[in-house]
Structure 1
Amino acid sequence: MCMKHRKLLTAGIGLLLTVILIALVRLVDAAPIGAQGTSIGLSHLNQFVFDLFGVNMLWYNITDWLGVAAVLTGFVFAVTGLVQLIKRRSLLKVDREILALGGLYIVVIGLYLFFENVIINYRPIIMPDNTSPEASFPSSHTMLVCVIMGSAAMLINRYIRNKPLNRILRAVCYVIIGVTVVGRLIAGVHWFTDILGGILISVTLLSLYEEVISHGK
């Protein structure tokens, strides 16, 4: 199977698994284990993982700062695209990778807004300064960091020719992703299935993004 088909296959599998996970969370083993008795699907699995780690607000804060680092990374690429647009005086002359990245960011924002309004389940705890449960699926923080830093690693591989620097920067991207995923789970502000959903959506989007930027090469 060629690389192109593998990317599309990965995206398709990621999307299918996301839909299956949503159905499972909504329909299977639901019980009122959430904050203020909200019903959560796959309750035995989610409760087991939550009890295993408990709540750790230090890790919540750490992953929040990693989210800030991801947003700043996205801002760097946005400025890069703006500079190209000004210099080249045509949107069509902006690098394909940067234009596609803008589209990717828009999709992520759209998904965030969608799941804030179409609530799959609620957080396991009431967050500080809140009095009611918040939407929890997918972990938007996980999705944001995975997508921004994952796509950044792809672009670093294309734009940074210095091999040692290339490897260091991509390693930083992967470390931020890994620490965010694990840290968000340990923090206890999301259910296990929320983290998994964020990962599956990210895999789907990144596979599609890789296909778009590699098309025609």
Structure 2
Amino acid sequence: MKKRNSLVQGIIYLALFVVLIILVKTVDVAAIGPENTEIGLSHINQTVHEVFGINMFWYKLTEVFGILALLVVAIFAVMGLVQLIKRKSIAKVDREILCLGGVYAVTLVTYALFEKVVINYRPIIEEGAEHVEASFPSSHTMLIVTVFATLTFVIGEYVKADKLQGLIRIVSLVIVCLTIVGRLVCGVHWFTDILGGCLISLCFINLFDHFLRKAD
């Protein structure tokens, strides 16, 4: 039952992500971005952006969280490589690491895809950039939410101390929450970019849970 539910939930979140893309491309589209770039659901997006404005503290904080997420990815990548070398078979690498590798790969592919298939552009031109950049979904939100949420699923296999396990889970969930809030209020994304990042992350997390359980 749990396997089926995780799979179904993952598909539902993917469907909602696709629906959001359709809405952003077709509903209440207006040229409210820099360089006259258009964004759907423009009244909602513009209102949220004007309420929060630009906040560099939250921008820098979420950048740090992004670095931490990449560090987590690197740690598990090294662990997987060491296991592969020692055990001489990818089939003998921990199923948790294989499933993490899969979700990390899908996240990377999704990031690359939406750099090429541009749904909308950022509400600001960032410092050092010559032109406005792709913005949907928020790649920081997608990366950090996916990495730290899936970390909570597997940490019990690699950290045996109950208190440390609990601390890592709490810190991971705090980082997830602060990232969602921070990327919204820092002003470098539209509201729908953050929503898109959350939806696709929830899809990845549920699919990760499904395949991890299936590998048991």
Match of 2:97 in 1: 98
Conserved? CA contact 2:95–2:215, under 8 Å: no
Q: Does 1:128 align with 2:147?
A: no
Q: Does 1:152 align with 2:180?
A: no
Q: Distance in 1 between matches of 2:110 and 2:214?
A: 24
Q: CA deviation at 1:157?
A: 3.1
Q: Which amino acid aligns with 1:61?
A: K
Q: CA deviation at 1:91?
A: 1.1
Instruction: Give the RMSD, CA atoms, in angstroms.
Output: 1.0
Q: Which amino acid aligns with 1:24?
A: L
Q: Which amino acid aligns with 1:58?
A: F
Q: Distance in 2 between matches of 1:116 and 1:216?
A: 32
Q: Which amino acid aligns with 1:44?
A: H
Distance 1:169 1:190, change over 3 A: same
Structural mapping, 1:67-216, within 5 Å: 67-216=66-215
Q: CA deviation at 1:216?
A: 4.8
Q: Which moved more, 1:100-109 or 1:185-194?
A: 100-109
Q: Distance in 2 between matches of 1:7 and 1:154?
A: 13
Match of 2:62 in 1: 63
Q: Distance in 2 between matches of 1:9 and 1:104?
A: 17
Q: Distance in 1 between matches of 2:119 and 2:52?
A: 22
Q: Distance in 1 between matches of 2:21 and 2:84?
A: 40
> 5+ residue gaps in structure 1?
none
Q: Distance in 1 between matches of 2:175 and 2:78?
A: 22
Conserved? CA contact 1:157–1:170, under 8 Å: no
Q: Which amino acid aligns with 1:176?
A: I
Structural mapping, 1:1-16, within 5 Å: 2-16=1-15
Q: Distance in 2 between matches of 1:90 and 1:39?
A: 50
Q: Distance in 1 between matches of 2:157 and 2:33?
A: 44
Q: Distance in 2 between matches of 1:216 and 1:60?
A: 38
4+ residue stretches of structure 1 with deviation over 4 A? none
Q: CA deviation at 1:92?
A: 1.1
Q: CA deviation at 1:3?
A: 1.0
The alignment covers a number of residue pairs equal to 216
Q: Percent identity?
A: 50
Q: CA deviation at 1:12?
A: 1.2
Q: CA deviation at 1:99?
A: 1.1
Q: Does 1:53 align with 2:62?
A: no
Q: CA deviation at 1:76?
A: 0.8
Q: Distance in 1 between matches of 2:37 and 2:6?
A: 38
Q: Which amino acid aligns with 1:5?
A: R
- SS where residue 188 of structure 1 aligns? coil
Q: TM-score if structure 1 supplies the norm length?
A: 0.97
Q: TM-score if structure 2 supplies the norm length?
A: 0.97
Q: CA deviation at 1:199?
A: 0.4
Q: Which amino acid aligns with 2:157?
A: R
Q: CA deviation at 1:159?
A: 3.0
